[in-house]
């Protein structure tokens, strides 16, 4: 295979619709731009939220309160039933969960949730546990250890 032999896959390339080619073409006269006005002109672009000079809705709405969402702790949830894929007596931590694809993506840690049943004795190390998950793990003879949280200053260093 050489560069001059490369072709796009069949059906991936569409013929561009030719605008303004007479009324019978379906895109004649105004060429899909509607009637007259600013948007009918070439080179026209109106930014998102612009309302023709009227005070935009986003500026009319009152701005009240404080949003603390930026500082919340985001956990990746892992159900107790998902822990059954580990060997009996295994030590399950965040790295082990990532290795099997149970805890992927950006987060501040892993929280073990109590959905499902556990059939093995495990030592689980996570950032947080729900009460039902802790009860199910300990009922099978396993242990729950809360992992030390990474401090903000340590993460920046």
Asked if 22 contacts 29 with a C-beta cutoff of 8 angstroms, the reply is no
d(CA 64, CA 113): 35
Q: What residues make up the domain containing 107?
A: 74-150
What is the full per-residue pLDDT of the chain (157 aa) written as tens digits?
899 999 999 999 998 989 999 999 889 999 999 999 988 999 988 999 999 999 999 999 998 888 888 889 999 999 999 999 999 999 999 999 999 999 998 899 999 999 999 999 999 999 999 999 999 999 999 999 999 876 554 555 5
Instruction: Please report, for residues 42, 89, 113, the alpha-carbon distance to residue 129 in angstroms, rounded to integers and kept in the order given.
Output: 59, 19, 6
Reduced DSSP (H G I as helix, E B as strand, rest coil) percent helix, strand, coil of the chain, to 5: 25, 15, 60
- Predicted pLDDT of residue 157: 55
In a domain, 106, yes or no: yes
Residue 19 tokens read as 């605008």
- Predicted pLDDT of residue 40: 92
Work out the end-to-end distance of the chain between its first and last CA atoms, rounded to an integer number of angstroms. Answer: 49
In a domain, 15, yes or no: no
Report the predicted TM-score, pTM, of the whole model to 2 decimal places.
Answer: 0.57
How many domains does the chain fold into? 1
- Predicted pLDDT of residue 69: 86
| Residue 26, burial from CB neighbour count under 10 angstroms (0-12, 13-18, 19+) | exposed
- Predicted pLDDT of residue 142: 94
In a domain, 90, yes or no: yes
- Predicted pLDDT of residue 156: 55
In a domain, 130, yes or no: yes
């Amino acid at each position: 295979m050489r560069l001059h032999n490369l072709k796009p896959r069949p059906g991936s390339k569409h013929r561009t619709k030719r605008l303004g080619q007479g009324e019978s073409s379906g895109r004649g006269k105004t060429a899909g731009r509607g009637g007259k006005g600013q948007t009918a002109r070439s080179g026209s672009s109106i930014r998102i939220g612009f309302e023709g000079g009227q005070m935009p809705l986003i500026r009319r709405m009152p701005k009240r309160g404080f949003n603390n969402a930026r500082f919340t702790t985001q956990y990746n949830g892992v159900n107790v039933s998902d822990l059954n894929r580990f060997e009996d007596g295994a030590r399950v931590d965040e790295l082990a969960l990532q290795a099997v694809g149970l805890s992927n993506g950006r987060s501040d840690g892993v929280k073990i949730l109590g959905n499902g049943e556990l059939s093995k004795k495990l030592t689980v190390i996570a950032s947080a546990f729900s009460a039902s998950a802790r009860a199910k793990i300990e009922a099978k003879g396993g242990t729950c250890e809360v992992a030390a949280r990474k401090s903000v200053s340590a993460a920046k260093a």
